[in-house]
């Protein structure tokens, strides 16, 4: 089956998950490769089986093919595997769950999560504001569906998802709460102070504001919206060869503000191991 046909079938079978980004009305039908809402606004599936569900033009610092490919290289090498393992532990073996991957990027997290859960009755939707990332995500071996969307104006129906997965993405908590089921959870991963600490110290001098990082403001905001939230720390070392270090440098926003001298120094002294130190926050309504 072609990707566009598979995408059309997914939307047709799961219309209740979506709403029109133009008028907020539910999707009503799929005719061939065109999706309609009940007010007859229409959206054409791309050849890759995706939908563009943003009302406005977008500009993103993350719309870079090489950066997304570097992220895929790292994640396929297992860079986030302990994080994904803990997410699956918290979800447990529930059949028929509906999962939304917020800022899914090139799709590796969604694909690996789906394969770990291994239940054909589950439904997975990933979205990102980057069209380049979503095009790359469609290369994954997954039954999930990908679309281009804005997290501040989600094209999804009220109380439609059991689990919202947010790994390092910004948050629009009012929108998240709207699409989160009453019994659902938001699982948000945020970096701790020593996340990629070796690279941060390599790129930035002690007197530079980027030499240190605090996630306190992000934590405070999460607990403001989810006062009864729980947290789990996940910390481990990840081994790097030269190719993986190059991919890490290309993937991380840490390199954006670094000086040319610091970047040259890092390239000549590639790290052999990096610390992954994050907190998984779990919030229920």
Q: Which domains does the chain have, with CATH numbers?
A: 1-49 (no CATH), 53-193+213-236+276-284 (3.40.50.150)
Please tell me the predicted confidence (pLDDT) of residue 96.
94
pTM, entire model: 0.95
Residues at the annotated binding site for S-adenosyl-L-methionine? 80, 106-107, 195
Vertex 236, ends 272 and 229: CA angle to 5°? 145
Please tell me the predicted confidence (pLDDT) of residue 132.
93
Please tell me the predicted confidence (pLDDT) of residue 60.
66
Please tell me the predicted confidence (pLDDT) of residue 94.
84
Closest by Cα among 159, 122, 128, 165 to 144: 122
Q: What is the pLDDT along the chain (285 residues), one digit of tens a residue?
A: 899 999 999 999 999 999 999 999 999 999 999 999 999 999 999 999 999 999 877 766 667 889 999 999 999 999 999 999 999 999 998 889 999 999 999 999 999 999 999 888 999 999 999 999 999 999 999 999 999 999 999 999 999 999 999 999 999 999 999 999 999 999 999 999 999 999 999 999 988 888 899 999 999 999 999 999 999 999 999 999 999 999 999 999 999 888 999 999 889 999 999 999 999 999 998
Please tell me the predicted confidence (pLDDT) of residue 211.
87
Residues at the annotated binding site for Zn(2+)? 20, 23, 37, 41
Distance CA 25, CA 210 (A): 44
Closest by Cα among 143, 94, 146 to 123: 143
Residues at the annotated binding site? 20, 23, 37, 41, 80, 106-107, 195
Cβ neighbours of residue 74 closer than 8 Å, sequence gap 6 or more: 80, 244, 247, 248, 251
On whether the CB atoms of residues 96 and 119 are closer than 8 A, the answer is yes
| CA distances to 111, 121, 160, 191, 239 from 188, in Å | 18, 24, 18, 10, 25
Neighbours of 66 (CB within 10 A): 11
Distance CA 270, CA 280 (A): 29
Please tell me the predicted confidence (pLDDT) of residue 23.
97
């Amino acid at each position: 089956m072609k990707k566009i046909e598979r995408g059309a079938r997914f939307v047709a079978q799961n219309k209740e998950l979506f709403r029109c980004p133009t008028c907020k009305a539910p999707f009503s039908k799929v005719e061939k490769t065109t999706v309609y809402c009940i007010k007859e606004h229409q959206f054409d599936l791309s050849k890759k089986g995706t939908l563009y569900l943003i009302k406005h033009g977008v500009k993103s610092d993350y719309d870079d093919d090489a950066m997304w490919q570097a992220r895929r290289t790292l994640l396929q090498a297992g860079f986030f595997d302990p994080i994904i393992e803990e997410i699956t532990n918290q979800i447990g073996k529930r059949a028929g769950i509906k999962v939304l991957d917020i800022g899914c990027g090139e799709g590796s997290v969604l694909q690996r999560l789906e394969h770990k859960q291994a239940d054909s009755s589950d439904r997975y939707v990933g979205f990102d504001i980057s069209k380049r990332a979503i095009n790359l995500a469609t290369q994954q071996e997954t039954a999930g569906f990908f679309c281009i969307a804005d997290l501040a104006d989600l094209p999804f129906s009220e109380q439609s998802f059991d689990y919202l997965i947010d790994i390092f993405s910004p948050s629009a908590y009012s929108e998240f709460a709207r699409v989160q089921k009453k019994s659902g959870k938001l699982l948000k991963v945020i970096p701790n102070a020593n996340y990629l600490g070796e690279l941060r110290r390599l790129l930035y001098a002690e007197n530079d504001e980027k030499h240190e990082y605090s996630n306190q403001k992000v934590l405070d905001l999460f607990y403001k919206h989810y006062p009864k939230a729980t947290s789990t720390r996940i910390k481990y070392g990840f081994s790097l060869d030269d190719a993986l270090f190059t991919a890490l440098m290309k993937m991380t926003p840490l390199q954006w503000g670094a000086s040319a001298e610091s970047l040259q120094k890092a390239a000549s002294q590639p790290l052999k191991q990096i610390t992954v130190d994050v907190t998984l926050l779990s919030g229920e309504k």
